Amino acid sequence: METLGAWELPEELCQLRDVTRKFMQTEVKEVEDQLPHDAFRVPKDLLDPLQAKAKTLGLWCFRTPSEYGGAGLNLLGQAVVAEESSRCRMGAYVWGCKAFGEDPPNVIFMGRPDQIEKYAKPTIDGKLRAFVAISEPSGGSDPARSIQTRAVRKGDKYILNGEKLWITDAANRDWGVLFARTGEKGDRGGISCFIIDRNMPGLSFDEIKVIRSYSPYQIHLTDVEVPAENMIGEEGQGFRVAEKWLVQQRISYAANTLGTAQAALELAIEWAKQRVTFGSRLADKQAIQWMIADSEMEIRAARLLTYQAAWNGDLGRDFKVDASIAKVTATETAGRVVDRCVQIFGGLGVSQELPLERWYRELRIKRIGEGPSEVHRMVLARTLLGGK
């Protein structure tokens, strides 16, 4: 019996990885180098040619099904390109400087054909931009219990009242997917999913300044009238839609942080080889060698956990716990790696001559976004211990 086995990326994904990496190095970097240190948008005159080049290579809207004009990648493919497209200064949150377009929230593809036509397709074409609004002041890690925004049916409309919090760039988006309660408090079956237009009366936005330049917003809903036809799926089925989006999102979120960590480590390795202090190179000092070795080992381990989660998801298995493990491991690993790289560079590491100090700030948020580490540990513990 053949007992040898091996796991490796399919050749197609290896090729996609290499093409994406080269594009980031030769095209995206050249554009980003012209921008301020904390920039999170590329001017249209620079972005349009960049996106045109990406489209010719098929590097466009990686999560979007191919029948709608996207690359239609599975979760493993999404992980691969998420890692590569984070290898730029703004890449921790603005993947590839938006060279590869912006996918609409995947929940829209669970909607009706007319909803996809009106909202998803213009977003894929780059004419519209979208947000997803789940978190609220009452909490975001357990939407089934924390959502208090209320949607009340009135004829052919729903009247929405409440607040959403920590919604990235919401005020600058054209439409969004928003989750509101149509049933009883705490009822998982009492949440519904709505499409919200940016200019609906009663909708307002407050910017929340944080340690990154790319701000989240608080959304206020005061008697916002939403047509009943803007509901995605059936009333009370929103939590199922939200959970699918959240679990899948964690795969690329984890991979994205590892790309940033890998880029930081490569910078630190090159610096250690060149920098001479106290008569020898940093690369010859055991303290530095161990920082680099630990970083490489941890990145490899986190990458394999992320790939495993993606693989299980693509096989149709329940990968909720796998996604939680990948999210915690990758984000915490990336934070440690970038911290070590800052230390290796010393004073230069916290200067704006390098992207490290920006990555350091932004990766700190990653341990909170998409569910804080503690919540994901709770998910794993409950699974292992049989708790509720």
Q: Which residues contact 105 (CB under 8 A, 6 or more apart)?
A: 130, 132, 176, 177, 245
User: Rounded distance, CA 243 to CA 76, Å?
Assistant: 19
User: Rounded distance, CA 293 to CA 208, Å?
Assistant: 38
Helix (H) or strand (E) holding 242: helix 238-274
Three-state secondary structure call for residue 230: helix
State CA 194 to chain mean position distance: 21
- Give the bridge partners for 130, in sequence order: 175
DSSP string, 326-385: HHHHHHHHHHHHHHHHHHHHGGGGGSTTSSHHHHHHHHHHHTTTTS-HHHHHHHHHHHHH
DSSP 105: P
> 82-117 burial, b for 16+ CB within 10 Å, e for fewer?
bbbbbbbbbbbbbbbbbbbbbbbbbbbbbbeeebbe
User: Rounded distance, CA 263 to CA 337, Å?
Assistant: 10
Residues designated catalytic: 370
Q: Are 366 and 294 in contact (CB under 8 A)?
A: no
Q: Are 137 and 122 in contact (CB under 8 A)?
A: no
Which candidate, 264, 160, 173, places its Cα nearest to that of 222?
160
**Other CB atoms within 10 A of residue 289 CB:** 13
Residue 152, both tokens: 């009340």
The most distant pair of C-alpha atoms in the chain lies apart, rounded to whole Å, by 80
Helix (H) or strand (E) holding 194: strand 191-197
User: Rounded distance, CA 162 to CA 311, Å?
Assistant: 38
